[in-house]
Structure 1
Amino acid sequence: MITCIAIDDEPKALEVIERYCQKIESVSLRATFREPLKAIAFLNREKIDLIFLDINMPEINGMQLLQTLSPRPLIIFTTAYSQYAVESYELNAVDYLLKPATFERFLMAINKAGAALATKNTPVTNDDAAVFIKSGPQTYRVKIGEILYLEKNGNYITVHLKDGNILIRENMSDIFDLLPAPDFIRVHKSYVVGIRHISMIEVHQLIVNGEKIPVGSTYRESLRDRLGIG
């Protein structure tokens, strides 16, 4: 069962979320809030798995609210504005729903949350799982377990593998979407790392396969929450 709450200053938006949640047996909507500060007070008392979080709200917006939470539940952002999509993925949101979201799209987001919750702190161990990555005229089949980290440099991203690298021209958010969320985490605006390959973590950096990877200040809390570090 996925326990969740919804935070949105629009009553109709909350009604839609409530109606959709009632259709899904595996989801328990514990409460809805129009006032973000009341939601924060609730979260300080209760532990839940998932928050449906609007971005544009009075008093404090969704991005700011997220920064106040420790530990952070899974987040699905809900908004009428598409310009926040990149920032939401940088904050490791499970999904980003544009209003008005259809039930089918809502269900897809719930499935993502369920998968992330089921494997939280436990990366996938299926070494045969793979993704296809296009580099110029060639397309490579790459095993998930072979991907050490992604490094963005200008308009290009280097996919660092155990036995080589692949250079692609792609947005970080787009290539991040190709990867299974339980196995990877964004730790810097220019780096996404494979969780299973992290060998050491410090405040400002971590080590992957002997390489030092910077940890951005906006990603530190979510990294510690994801890995269960107190």
Structure 2
Amino acid sequence: MPLRCIAIDDEPLALEVIRDFAERINEMELVAAFEDAVSASEFIRTTGNIDLILIDIQMPAITGIQLIQSLQHKPLFIFTTAYKEFAFEGFEMNAVDYLLKPIAFERFEKAITKAIDMHRLKQQKPSLPEGSLMVYAEYNMVKINYVDIEYIESVQDYIRIHIKNSKPIMTLLPLKKVLEKLPEQLFQRIHRSYIVAVNEIQAILHKKIKLTSGTELPVGESYASFIRSWKQQGQ
């Protein structure tokens, strides 16, 4: 199924360029285009079924950044702008890509391909069953729900369990032993020092993965089969 996209830009010519480019890519469908962020925001909230937003940053009334920040459930998004100075903020918000105008088709196609790959990864994520990991930390037994684990890091004889929206938990346990305690369909070892929650993977990059939090982790050579299997599943 094609990636359902909308475009938002206060410049009609910029929207025409995006329409033309979108027609040349079979894997995407431009379902609507808007010249103001207010109308687009209402469409997103009422329609809901949008996979990707192509959005300008500098617009009257509401900027592209403000619109994305206002969305409770954020689709994938790509910023399109003539201003380089917003690039850092765009990537801090976990944008798929940042396209500088005038946009060349090859660069546009590359960004859309990246969005398609990320969308496939999201579709592949398994639902998290109830379950938890029990570890001994700070003289107490601590219960950590699977759904709260982002990734686990080996630190000498200890492991550091990175928890979403909370501080990490340290415990004296080898990485191999904790992996045996975790359901294999939900957690994957990607490096001699890292285990990652599969549901937290946002993108697979060159020799590393990016999590939904923006954290990037290396993938070891001996775990490269994990990368290949995910890419094959997405094709």
TM-score (norm 1): 0.57
Do the aligned partners of 2:153 and 2:193 also contact (CA within 8 Å) in 1?
no
Q: SS of 1:118's equivalent?
A: helix
Query: Which sections of structure 1, spanning at least 5 residues, go unmatched?
Result: 124-144, 150-160, 165-176, 195-230
Distance 1:147 1:81 in 2: 38
Which of 215, 219, 228 is 1:192 aligned to? 215
Give the aligned partner of residue 50 of structure 2.
48
Give the aligned partner of residue 22 of structure 2.
21
The alpha carbon displacement at 1:179 in A equals: 3.5
Do the aligned partners of 2:58 and 2:81 also contact (CA within 8 Å) in 1?
yes
| Matching of residue 179 in structure 1 with residue 205 in structure 2 | yes
Give the aligned partner of residue 91 of structure 2.
89
Aligned 1:129-140 pairs, distance under 5 A: none
Distance 1:80 1:62 in 2: 13
RMSD over equivalenced CA pairs, Å: 3.3
| Paired letter, 2:36 | E
Q: SS of 1:120's equivalent?
A: helix
Give the aligned partner of residue 38 of structure 1.
39
| Paired letter, 2:29 | S
| Paired letter, 1:51 | I
Point out 4+ residue stretches in structure 1 off by more than 3 angstroms: 145-149, 161-164, 177-180
Which of 96, 99, 102 is 1:100 aligned to? 102
Judged with a 3 Å threshold, the aligned counterparts in structure 2 of structure 1 residues 9 and 59 are, in CA distance, closer, same or farther, namely same
TM-score (norm 2): 0.56
Give the aligned partner of residue 226 of structure 2.
none
Judged with a 3 Å threshold, the aligned counterparts in structure 2 of structure 1 residues 147 and 4 are, in CA distance, closer, same or farther, namely farther
The alpha carbon displacement at 1:185 in A equals: 2.8
Distance 2:31 2:104 in 1: 21
Query: Which sections of structure 2, spanning at least 5 residues, go unmatched?
Result: 126-150, 155-159, 161-190, 195-202, 218-235
The alpha carbon displacement at 1:25 in A equals: 1.3
Aligned 1:65-80 pairs, distance under 5 A: 65-80=67-82
RCO higher in structure (CA 8 A, sep ≥6): 1
Do the aligned partners of 2:79 and 2:98 also contact (CA within 8 Å) in 1?
yes
Deviations 1:183-202 (A, max 9, x none): 42363xxx7155xxxxxxxx
